[in-house]
Chain A
């Protein structure tokens, strides 16, 4: 009985969290937030390098 009650509380908390997450468009994608970028990027995109630049990747294929 006590286990079911605890599980119910745990489950309701999970569902509420899910509801809030779904409403606010939560996803598990890793995104790096950077604040206060200068407006000059609009005119000079090369002046900004994100941490995802200079990617060293797998070339693929057999």
Chain B
């Protein structure tokens, strides 16, 4: 009795070994009879895997230098919950504006899940599978399973290098029309050759995840630029941030309204004074004391002077009667006007207003020291002190502080999309209006 062979563990890959009819090199067949063509690693003959004698279909000269797959054929790993093995590798090329762009495709096989592909261009990876339903193509978009994909690019592509086995009739240099539709992180691609169109759905994945899943040595290539379906980490954030900004703006508006409504705006002092700059007497004086009530809050000091083509400078000190604490500040009131060849002109204002920040309650008086041009005539001015007035400036600064990151993230998102669509058939319009 012949002993029974121990059964293969579920999912374990089975490798058949054949010999190339041209060079005799061993050929590993890993896709369990699903291979349609096999490419010999050594002589680059494309062989008919369905023919027991491995009929030669085509021989190609590598249009590029011998390309070494970043993921070696035969690499095995667990991907999306299933065991896969890399069984085929091809380099494909498209020519746009006399520039040839090459990308690489790795064919993966799972005995239970079938085939899928990793594609790589400039360090950007996609995990792609043939779709099961037919997408609906519209004018500049395609719809698949209810999701809309925008048309990105249409070009002609051909295979220029291949290794391993493939479940289709691979021919080097045969041209197919490729159309990509994107909805990041997804890309829906059609490949049309003759009357036959194949659709695949790809999802942007990170090289590091592939390296980890397949236990590959070293590091994946660093991505260059922005790829067609690369997700923008900021795109979703930008719209959310503007939504958050709207909420914060509302909060600011509510605080502003409450502040306007509840500010006492209580006038606590007003008086009018005369000043003669030519006088030799000490110009400084103090006002009668007044009380600033309530919590620590703002104090507005208004100066209205009857200056005309004159200036008046007032050195103020708001002094706490009890503690001797002074808040020094200076204000200028100047107003000039006249008529010249351009007509009437004026400059400055006879009115000035300043809001002092966070003054504690207490009994205060003002020390006032006026100055002006000694040649100026006498002038009169009124000083008005008002407690607890709202300050618009801090609201504007708060809005600017909130706007800045929102604008920055929106700008970065815009730049990212600009870079993405710059590579497409439909580049975004720039701010300048051009394309």
Choose among A14, A22, A27, A54 the residue that contacts B259 (Cβ–Cβ < 8 A).
Answer: A22
- Residues on B with beta carbons closer than 8 Å to the beta carbon of A62: 336, 338, 340, 345, 347
Is B286 within 8 A of A45, CB to CB? yes
Is B282 within 8 A of A37, CB to CB? no
Q: Could you mark each residue 1-30 of chain A with 1 if its beta carbon is under 8 Å from any beta carbon of chain B, else 0?
A: 111100110111011011101111111111
Q: Which residue of A lies closest to B251 (CB)?
A: A15
Is B391 within 8 A of A25, CB to CB? yes
Closest-CB distance, A26 to chain B (whole angstroms) = 5
- Residues on B with beta carbons closer than 8 Å to the beta carbon of A36: 323-325
Q: Could you mark each residue 335-371 of chain B with 1 if its beta carbon is under 8 Å from any beta carbon of chain A, else 0?
A: 0101010000101100000111111000001010101
Given contacts A7-B406, A27-B393, A33-B325, contact A55 B315 (CB under 8 A): yes
**Cα(A45)–Cα(B14), bound, Å:** 103
Is A26 within 8 A of B406, CB to CB? no
- Residues on B with beta carbons closer than 8 Å to the beta carbon of A52: 315-316, 328-330
- Residues on B with beta carbons closer than 8 Å to the beta carbon of A10: 405
Q: Which residue of A lies closest to B357 (CB)?
A: A27
- Asked whether any CB of chain A lies closer than 8 Å to the CB of B394, the reply is yes
Choose among B234, B245, B325, B347 the residue that contacts A37 (Cβ–Cβ < 8 A).
Answer: B325
**Cα(A19)–Cα(B258), bound, Å:** 10
- Asked whether any CB of chain A lies closer than 8 Å to the CB of B59, the reply is no
Is A45 within 8 A of B285, CB to CB? yes
Q: Which residue of A lies closest to B283 (CB)?
A: A46
- Residues on A with beta carbons closer than 8 Å to the beta carbon of B373: 59
Q: Could you mark each residue 279-302 of chain B with 1 if its beta carbon is under 8 Å from any beta carbon of chain A, else 0?
A: 000101110000000011111000
- Chain B CB count within 10 A is highest, among A2, A35, A45, A62, for A45
Stretch at the interface among B25-33, B35-43, B235-243: B235-243
Is B355 within 8 A of A27, CB to CB? yes
Is A25 within 8 A of B328, CB to CB? no
Q: Which residue of A lies closest to B393 (CB)?
A: A28
Choose among A1, A38, A51, A60 the residue that contacts B328 (Cβ–Cβ < 8 A).
Answer: A51
Is B367 within 8 A of A11, CB to CB? no
Closest-CB distance, A5 to chain B (whole angstroms) = 9
- Asked whether any CB of chain A lies closer than 8 Å to the CB of B317, the reply is yes
- Residues on A with beta carbons closer than 8 Å to the beta carbon of B298: 25-27
Is B356 within 8 A of A27, CB to CB? yes
**Cα(A10)–Cα(B328), bound, Å:** 34
- Residues on A with beta carbons closer than 8 Å to the beta carbon of B236: 1
**Cα(A48)–Cα(B324), bound, Å:** 12
- B residues 209-225 near A (Cβ < 8 Å) are none
Choose among B311, B316, B405 the residue that contacts A57 (Cβ–Cβ < 8 A).
Answer: B311
**Cα(A45)–Cα(B356), bound, Å:** 21
Is A34 within 8 A of B286, CB to CB? no
Closest-CB distance, B134 to chain A (whole angstroms) = 34
Q: Which residue of A lies closest to B297 (CB)?
A: A25
Given contacts A3-B237, A14-B402, A61-B336, contact A29 B297 (CB under 8 A): no
Given contacts A22-B390, A50-B315, contact A42 B326 (CB under 8 A): no
Given contacts A24-B297, A37-B324, A42-B365, contact A48 B317 (CB under 8 A): yes
Choose among A17, A18, A23, A60 the residue that contacts B334 (Cβ–Cβ < 8 A).
Answer: A60
Q: Which 10 A-B pairs have the closest CB atoms?
A: A25-B298, A52-B330, A25-B297, A3-B237, A4-B240, A50-B328, A61-B336, A46-B282, A11-B248, A45-B284
Question: Can you pick out 17 interface pairs between chain A and chain B where the beta carbons lie within 8 Å of each other?
Answer: A3-B234, A11-B245, A11-B247, A11-B402, A18-B255, A19-B255, A25-B296, A27-B394, A31-B357, A34-B328, A38-B324, A45-B367, A45-B369, A48-B317, A50-B330, A52-B316, A52-B328
